[in-house]
Structure 1
Amino acid sequence: AITYLLEQYDKYEAEQLRLSDIISGFIDPNETEDIAPTATHIGSELGEDDLADEDEEDEEDEDEDGDSSDDDGDGGPDPEVAREKFGELRAQYEVTRLSIQKNGRAHEDTQAAIAQLADVFRQFRLMPKQFDRLVNNMREMMERVRVQERIIMKLCVEQAKMPKKTFVAAFTNNECETAWFEYQKQAGKAWSPRLVEMDEDIQRAIGKLQQIEEETGLSIAQ
């Protein structure tokens, strides 16, 4: 979500998008009644093609209404405030990413950085269409996670004959770790030799889960 929003702002700076295509403004973190906009299609199966169609409709509306690139001319987002806020978001994202790499996600410093990143992100009033895209992107990420989890379970349970209860206990909340797998390979159980044979395939699937965590900035459990 964070990387997507930063990419959208980069497009604005490259004059490929208007600022008002991304955000409508910012939420005052001290104002409890200041509510963020909701997505227009949450819970729907709106895909990228549908969102692209809406983009085309918006462009047609702009052509009919004339040039509306001046974001701050009609009460739109202030470009200077936006630059400051996006800079803050980018900086905190980098702090969080480096803390995850150095200390791991469970470390106290990392958890504090993640909480701060969430606080910064919550200040952005996303345009509903952008919110829709974030929801759609997360849905796609979740499907990618499920695919890799099914692969790992099939290899461990169906092919290596590890009891499903044992697999679930070992794998749950350790999806992106390899320690549980290394332990089961060396456990001296009936399934251990078969896990050794499947090492490359299982390690590859775990690696893909790790990649998804890096892309989203969220743990698989989240």
Structure 2
Amino acid sequence: MDARLYEQRYRHLVEGLPGVVYRASIRSGDWHYVSPVIERLLGWTPEEWRAHDAPWGTSVHEDDRESALRQEEHALETGFLRSEYRMRRKDGEIVWIRDEATLLEEDGHPQWHGILTDVTEQRTLENRLRQSQKLEAIGQLAGGIAHDFNNLLVAIIGYGELALQRAGDDAELRDDLAQITVAADRARDLTQRLLSFSRTEART
């Protein structure tokens, strides 16, 4: 096959991938190749990205930068990088990126050959799932507490009503006992709300 035709087919294949294929120098930090998908992913054209001074370092979210660099240092020992971090698009929007690369040498120069994939939607779904699981756990805890507390309140209300019957004509004592019963009834209403909440979370 003609070398030019082979290169065209290879480039067509690379540019059709959903992620950003790249080749970057480890020593200089230069990006020797970036596929056009980067414009859709991060808002930069390949030319802008390659001409930008330290594009990766300035685009990685400041809270993830240190961790991403540590993972890259570790990958230099293993020869393979797999990392996830946030990046800031040219327009300021934050996206989650999965960075997978292999360490290769070209003419004695170590380079990363990798692909950047947008995993924002996946991360969002995972966060929603974790939140749902947390709410379910809270609901189960609330249900258990409410059930036990409700049993205690039944006893308190029962003994309160029994004490009222035995209070006779002592108005002050009857008033105090009545307040206990009223407070216990209110607390029972709250436990019913907790039980209702726990059942709702169990269904979601």
Q: Specify the TM-score bucket, using the shorter chain as the normaliser.
A: under 0.3
Larger CA Rg, structure 1 vs 2: 2
User: Which of 1 and 2 has higher RCO (CA within 8 Å, sep 6+)?
Assistant: 1
More strand by share: 2
> Normalising by the residue count of structure 1, what TM-score does the alignment of the two structures yield?
0.26
